């Protein structure tokens, strides 16, 4: 490793970052690089965003660490994944999370010409490159179905991608593939379900299309009002489509959830801390009203530019460190192409989308 490269890696680690984000080759070459856990212990201060304020605080030990990935797929029908996906999965053991979340699009479906054999081959590729590796880690894995996994789109009362949804259900309900989660309600798994990990209640809804059915909304409200949800120290909702648009090319109706304001009010009514989404292929830590909005970037093909920004598209992985005693969350997001930490303050202060305005979360 040349001197400039070594200085770059050491500088990145000092940013509070990621000794393990480099490939295993670099990890093997430099035992002095620290894991994020070690870095957090040695960091004198870090930015903390609470529900109401931003402050500098010294060494808040996280109760819970979550790795967030999203939009892993490549082109339609693909049975291979891009290098950043492989790097992210290989990195997870170094990050030592309590939970892994995926905000959707594990495979590359949503094309009517794909045969059952092709769809099954995509799920087999996912299992080979991602699913099996995560199971081997023994870390709980929560996910939401994306439009490319099994879109819930309906035309004239019929599911357009019924075959893809059936095969997605078969894959995830295979006992060998079902995540080892502490399920609260899995009657409609994998499309919508709830679970609890580390005293956080997670509700996963089917936002693979822009319309969430009344049946599902009734279930969501009942679930969020339940003792299991309300007695948890935090509530988080996970879905593929976001409430509000944040990315170029995804700012048209159909690319974000219909009736976003009504959905936001539902989540706020039951004290949901954060809504996590994918689909827009652009990382943005937003907030609207009392609801945190974590938009996960893509690891697979097609990262997108943020609205109101000249920043280039970037493939990302996000760490969430949570202090449950104060419902404090700290995000650390990495550009998986350059291996740099993304500064939230470099992102747009406000994003004006067709269905509403959201602010960067440290400003509200």
Answer yes or no: is pLDDT of 50 > 50.
no
Answer yes or no: is pLDDT of 137 > 90.
yes
**pLDDT tens-place string over residues 198-213:** 999 999 999 999 999 9
At the second CATH level, the architecture of 44-363 is 4-Layer Sandwich (3.60)
Answer yes or no: is pLDDT of 1 > 50.
no
The pLDDT value recorded for residue 364 is 79
Answer yes or no: is pLDDT of 14 > 50.
no
Q: Name the pLDDT band for 51 (thresholds 50, 70, 90).
A: very low
Supply the pTM of this predicted model. Answer: 0.86
Does residue 140 contact residue 179 with C-beta atoms inside 8 Å?
Answer: yes
- DSSP characters for 202-235? EEE---SSS---HHHHHHHHHHHHSHHHHTSSEE
Least confident of 44-48, 127-131, 150-154, 302-306: 44-48
Q: What gap in Å lies between CA 291 and CA 237, rounded to an integer?
A: 11
The pLDDT value recorded for residue 274 is 98
Q: Name the pLDDT band for 13 (thresholds 50, 70, 90).
A: very low
**pLDDT tens-place string over residues 71-89:** 999 999 999 999 999 999 9
Answer yes or no: is pLDDT of 8 > 90.
no
Q: Name the pLDDT band for 339 (thresholds 50, 70, 90).
A: confident
Q: Name the pLDDT band for 21 (thresholds 50, 70, 90).
A: very low
Q: Residues 127-145: what's their mean pLDDT?
A: 98
**pLDDT tens-place string over residues 249-273:** 999 999 999 999 999 999 999 999 9
Burial 79-92 (b: 16+ CB within 10 A, else e): bebbebbbbbbebb
The pLDDT value recorded for residue 227 is 98
Q: Name the pLDDT band for 31 (thresholds 50, 70, 90).
A: very low
Give the closest residue to 275 by CA, choosing from 209, 320, 326, 309: 320
Q: What gap in Å lies between CA 52 and CA 364, rounded to an integer?
A: 7
Answer yes or no: is pLDDT of 104 > 50.
yes
Taking all residues of the chain, what is their mean pLDDT, rounded to a whole number? 86
CATH 3.60.21.10 boundaries in the chain = 44-363
């Amino acid at each position: 490793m040349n001197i400039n490269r070594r200085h770059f890696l050491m500088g990145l680690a000092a940013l509070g970052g990621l000794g393990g984000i480099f490939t295993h080759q670099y990890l093997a070459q430099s035992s002095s690089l620290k894991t994020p856990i070690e870095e957090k212990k040695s960091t004198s201060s870090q930015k903390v965003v609470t529900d109401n304020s931003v402050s500098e605080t010294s060494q808040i030990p996280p109760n819970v660490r979550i790795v967030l990935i999203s939009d892993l797929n490549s082109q339609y029908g693909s049975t291979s994944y891009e290098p950043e996906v492989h790097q992210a999965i290989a990195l997870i053991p170094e990050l030592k999370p309590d939970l892994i979340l995926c905000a959707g699009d594990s495979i590359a479906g949503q094309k009517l010409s794909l045969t059952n054999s092709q769809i099954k081959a995509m799920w087999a590729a996912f299992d080979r490159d991602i699913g099996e590796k995560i199971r081997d880690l023994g870390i709980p894995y929560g996910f939401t179905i994306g439009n490319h996994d099994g879109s819930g789109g309906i035309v004239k009362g019929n599911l357009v991608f019924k075959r893809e949804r059936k095969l997605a259900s078969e894959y995830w309900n295979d006992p060998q593939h079902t995540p080892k989660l502490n399920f609260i309600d899995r009657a409609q798994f994998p499309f919508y379900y709830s679970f609890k990990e580390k005293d956080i209640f997670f509700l996963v809804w089917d936002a693979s299309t822009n319309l969430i059915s009344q049946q599902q909304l009734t279930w969501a409200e009942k679930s969020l009002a339940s003792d299991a949800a309300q007695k948890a120290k935090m509530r988080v909702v996970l879905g593929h489509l976001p409430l509000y648009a944040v990315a170029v090319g995804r700012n048209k109706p159909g690319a974000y959830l219909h009736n976003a304001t009504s959905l936001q009010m539902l989540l706020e009514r039951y004290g949901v801390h954060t809504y996590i989404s994918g689909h827009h292929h652009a990382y943005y830590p937003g907030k609207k009203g009392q609801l945190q909005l974590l938009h996960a970037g893509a690891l697979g093909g097609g990262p997108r530019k943020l609205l109101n920004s000249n920043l280039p598209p970037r493939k990302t992985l996000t760490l969430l460190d949570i202090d449950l005693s104060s419902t404090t969350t700290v995000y650390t997001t990495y550009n998986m192409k350059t291996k740099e930490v993304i500064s939230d303050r470099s992102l747009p202060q406000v994003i004006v989308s067709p269905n509403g305005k959201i602010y960067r979360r440290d400003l509200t």
